Amino acid sequence: MASLSLRNVIKRYGHGPKANQVIHGVSAEIADHEFIVIVGPSGCGKSTLLRMVAGLEEISAGDILIGDRVVNNLEPAERDIAMVFQNYALYPHMSVFDNMAYGLKIAKVPSAEIKVRVDKAAKILELGHLLERKPRQLSGGQRQRVAMGRAIVRQPKVFLFDEPLSNLDAKLRAQTRLEIQKLHRELGITSLFVTHDQVEAMTLAQRIIVMNGGVMDQFATPEEVYSRPATTFVASFIGSPPMNLLKHAPGVRPGTILGIRPEHLILDPNGWSVQIEHVELLGAERLIYGRVGDEQLIMRADEGQPAPVPGDTMRIAARPDKLHWFDAGSGKRMK
């Protein structure tokens, strides 16, 4: 196991003035044993960053270190990493045991050692009763566990996960998230996990890298990313529903944007006049959609509050201790 360092990492496609730069100087120090999630929308550069760590993409500038070793020019097999892919990448003609053991056989690990490692990984992932089956006989969740088992037996310094849960249904995703958390607690291997799903990011990560257009907008704990977003992009991307970002509501100063989470809006007879447009019932809570002037506002209310109907007018205020102010020009947090 080892630390992972990204130092001003840049990626360009092409050369000269027409080169397309897609990663813009990302720097991050990841401690040994840490579980880091890279999150962002499609095209933000998160998978490209992961592939550069894996050695599947060349680095245009900067350095990547695994432990104290610069790996920029090393082949993937020389980096002591193991990768879990979105599509499982299992050999259909091989048993579960042989799929998990294949990399070790190629590396000429003794058969007895292979069996010990595979049996241990199978026990951790509850695959022991499936070792003789072929991938076609497994569910999607079981196939993903086999893919993780194949990575575990390598005993790498770093785990890399490239959206490994995106092919699973919602129930299996939740279950597999728990399994990944358990896996990390047991093995403690430094991990880098890419996803576009903020729920995965918030529940799995010890710290989160939020990518936006090839730039790292924030690198912080899930709690800090949610409670003190560094930019309006982070504020709007993390949280469901997202943070309200208001430019023209009463009390908002010119040149700034006011951010307020839906759960931090309260009924107040002296507050903004909000025209209700839509109400969503989500079991124990409701989402109330309305407008303050020409800007949409979303309020989260529990089931105990009276339910408005579209067309109603409500008076709503923001909790003064939960305000977020951003610069309207740069989108960066002011306080």
Does the pLDDT of residue 16 top 90, yes or no?
Answer: no
Q: Output the pLDDT for position 8.
A: 98
Q: Would strands 61-66 and 4-13 be described as parallel, antiparallel, or unpaired? A: antiparallel
* Least-confidence region, from 27-31, 217-221, 247-251, 259-263: 247-251
**Secondary structure of residue 127 in the 3-state scheme:** coil
Distance between CA 272 and CA 249 in Å, rounded? 8
Alpha-helical segments (H) within the chain: 46-54, 96-106, 111-124, 140-153, 170-187, 198-204, 222-227, 232-237
Does the pLDDT of residue 335 top 80, yes or no?
Answer: no
Average pLDDT over residues 38-55: 95
Q: How many other β-carbons are positioned within 10 Å of the β-carbon of residue 275?
A: 14
H helices, E strands: number in the chain = 8, 17
Average pLDDT over residues 67-74: 95
3-state helix, strand, coil in the chain (%, to 5): 30, 35, 35
Q: Output the pLDDT for position 86.
A: 79
Q: How does pLDDT run across 304-331, given as a tens digit for each residue?
A: 777 788 999 999 999 999 999 999 999 9
| CA dihedral of 237, 242, 248, 254, whole degrees rounded to 10 | -40
Does the pLDDT of residue 40 top 80, yes or no?
Answer: yes
Q: Domains in the chain, ordered, with CATH?
A: 4-234 (3.40.50.300), 241-327 (2.40.50.140)
Average pLDDT over residues 168-182: 85
Q: Output the pLDDT for position 124.
A: 87
> For residue 246, which of 323, 170, 186 has the smallest C-alpha distance?
323
> For residue 205, which of 82, 39, 87 has the smallest C-alpha distance?
39
Q: How does pLDDT run across 84-134, given as a tens digit for each residue?
A: 887 878 899 999 999 999 989 988 999 999 999 999 999 888 899 999 999
Q: Find all residues with CB under 8 Å of 55, minimum gap 6, and list them.
A: 71, 74, 75, 76, 78, 79, 81
